[in-house]
Amino acid sequence: MSHPPSNILFVCMGNICRSPFAQGLFTKLVDQKRHKGVDAESAGLLALPGNSATFLAQKVATEYGVDLTEHQAKLVSEKLVTGSDLILVMENSHKDALLSDFPMAADKVFLIRHFARFGSRNRGVADPYGLNYDAYRFCFLDIEDAVLGLLEFLSIR
Catalytic member of 12, 17, 113, 139:
12
Element (H, E) at 7: strand 7-12
State yes or no: is 127 an active-site residue: yes
Task: For residues 125-138, give the mean pLDDT.
Answer: 98
45-99 pLDDT, tens digit each: 999 999 999 999 999 999 999 999 999 999 999 999 999 999 999 999 999 999 9
Q: What pLDDT is attached to residue 157?
A: 62
Buried (b) or exposed (e) across 89-107, using 16+ Cβ within 10 A? bbbeebbebbbeebeebee
DSSP 86-126: EEEESSHHHHHHHHHH-GGGGGGEEEGGGG-SSS-SSS-PP
Query: Does residue 91 contact residue 124 with C-beta atoms inside 8 Å?
Result: yes
CA distance 144 to 142: 5
Catalytic member of 17, 18, 113, 145:
18
Task: For residues 18-25, give the mean pLDDT.
Answer: 98
Q: What 3-state class would DSSP assign to 157?
A: coil
CA distance 66 to 155: 22
Q: Any idea what DSSP says for residue 26?
A: H
Confidence bin at 121 (pLDDT 50/70/90)? very high
What percentage of the chain reaches a pLDDT higher than 90?
90
β-bridge pairing 109-111 and 39-44: unpaired
Give, in order, the Cα–Cα distances in Å from 46 to each of 32, 69, 107.
31, 21, 22
Residue 3 has pLDDT above 70, yes or no: no
Residue 2 has pLDDT above 60, yes or no: no
* Domains of the chain (ranges, CATH numbers): 7-153 (3.40.50.2300)
Q: What pLDDT is attached to residue 4?
A: 72
What residues form DSSP beta bridges with 12? 44
Residue 1 has pLDDT above 80, yes or no: no
Catalytic member of 39, 85, 127, 137:
127
**Beta carbons within 8 Å of 46's beta carbon, 6+ residues apart:** 13, 14, 75
pTM of the model: 0.95
**Size of the chain, expressed as the number of residues it contains:** 157
